[in-house]
Amino acid sequence: MKATARANANIALVKYWGKRNKKLILPYNSSISMTCDGLFTITTVEFSDKYNRDIIVINDEELKVEEDKSSSPTFADARVVDELRSSLPFAVARVKDEKDVLGHLERIRQTAGIKEKVKVVSQSNFPVAAGLASSASGLAAITAAAAKAAGSNLDQKELSILARQGSGSACRSIFGGFVEWLRGEKEDGSDSYAVQIAPPEHWLEFRLIVTILSEEKKKVGSRAGMAQTVETCPYYENWLKTVNQDLEIIRKGILNKDFTSVGSRAEHNCLKMHALMITTSPAIIYWRPETLKIVQNILGWREGGLECYFTIDAGPQVKIICLEKDVPELKKRLQALKDVKKIIVCRPGEGTKLIDEHLF
């Protein structure tokens, strides 16, 4: 059967950083994000006897996959992986380990008890190698399309659990609007999934402006960066103790539409995560000079009465948290800065949906 899904990316207001179980992707802390309507991936998946090998095409590039004797499939050779890393836009370059797409499809095949080969075509509207939010939309779309195509009728909670195992933050993209990924307590991960705090309609004025500052490929992916932080950052345990308060404030702020409280706490939470990264051995510094320039501009604009905040993920791009009424002024100011290569304005978007328009 063939199925197609459309998934939006999400940007965290309370960041997830660190896994207590790397295989199942179980986090040390819960996190909160907004699903963004401006950044999406559409993926069509078909399992069928007519394919004699797995075919995976991401943003017009075919992954070169060869059958492997071991349990998880591998790429033809390391050179191909390197080429993919440097040439592919979002999905594969951001999946951290290219085996993940294949490993994830294998997981879905096993869950459904099927053996057919698969064809996957995935397209996202992300700017090339932008180092954006995460692989969230890519893995959420592939999970929903593949589960449906494999004949598994999963509800949103089950899809979220499955997507989580492909890429942690993908579990949040299953839901629209404002979303919390509950860290869960159980060893098997059955209570670590996302839930909706509020639908997109709840706070239609809320905006995240994504600025693309650098398209250079980052050196440390989030998977390796998190592991390194948990192992070597002397502040990690103390950081964890502060996250619950951030969660409470932002959850409550979203429900009360208290912009100052959500924006200021999200900015603080982001700075705390970057403080961890910077104090990891060896140091992980995702910021570039352009990043800091935008940050300083934002602080200045705010002092001048334009209320906006920033958040930054595992890359150099700055995302500005603001309200709809201030978007025109912020766009004008951002466009005047030479470091800003592109601006994408995101509203609260819907969760992952199955659609009828197949890509093949």
Binding site for ligand PMV (CB under 6 A): 12, 15-16, 31, 134-135, 167-169, 222-223, 313-314
Amino acid of residue 242: T
Report the nearest approach of ligand PMV to the CB of residue 235 (Å). 16
State both tokens at 210: 């994504």
Nearer to ligand PMV, 25 or 298 (CB): 25
DSSP per position, 144-189: HHHHHHTT----HHHHHHHHHHH-TTHHHHTS-SEEEE---S-TTS
Integer distance in angstroms from the first to the last C-alpha of the chain?
13
Question: Closest separation between CB of residue 128 and ligand PMV, Å?
Answer: 18
Asked if 146 and 41 count as a contact pair (C-beta separation under 8 A), the reply is: no
CA gap 358, 360 in Å, rounded = 6
Closest CA to 348 of 212, 211, 201, 210: 201
Q: Which secondary structure element, helix H or strand E, spans residue 12, and what is its range? A: strand 2-14
H or E element, residue 239 = helix 236-256
Two tokens, residue 351? 């969760």
Closer CB to ligand PMV, residue 25 or residue 112?
Answer: 25
Nearest to ligand PMV of 223, 251 (CB atom): 223
Closest distance of CB 17 from ligand PMV, Å: 6
Nearest distance in Å: CB 134, ligand PMV: 3
Cβ of residue 311: shortest distance to ligand PMV, in angstroms?
9
What is the nearest approach in angstroms of ligand PMV to the Cβ of residue 73?
21
Q: Among residues 12 and 102, whose Cβ is nearest to ligand PMV?
A: 12
To 5 degrees, how large is the angle CA 350–CA 184–CA 249? 65
Among residues 115, 93, 97, which one has the least CA distance to residue 106? 115
The answer for residues whose C-beta is within 8 angstroms of residue 238's C-beta and 6 or more apart is none
Smaller CB distance to ligand PMV: residue 124 or 135? 135
Burial class (CB in 10 A: 0-12, 13-18, 19+), 61: middle
CB neighbours of 22 closer than 8 A, spacing ≥ 6?
Answer: 227
Q: How far is the CB of 218 from ligand PMV (least distance, A)?
A: 11
CB closer to ligand PMV, 47 vs 90:
90
Q: Cβ 104 to ligand PMV, closest distance in Å?
A: 13
Q: Which of 86, 37, 58, 64 lies closest to 359, judged by CA?
A: 58
- Closer residue to ligand PMV in complex, CB, 55/227: 227
Closer residue to ligand PMV, CB minimum distance, 16 or 178: 16
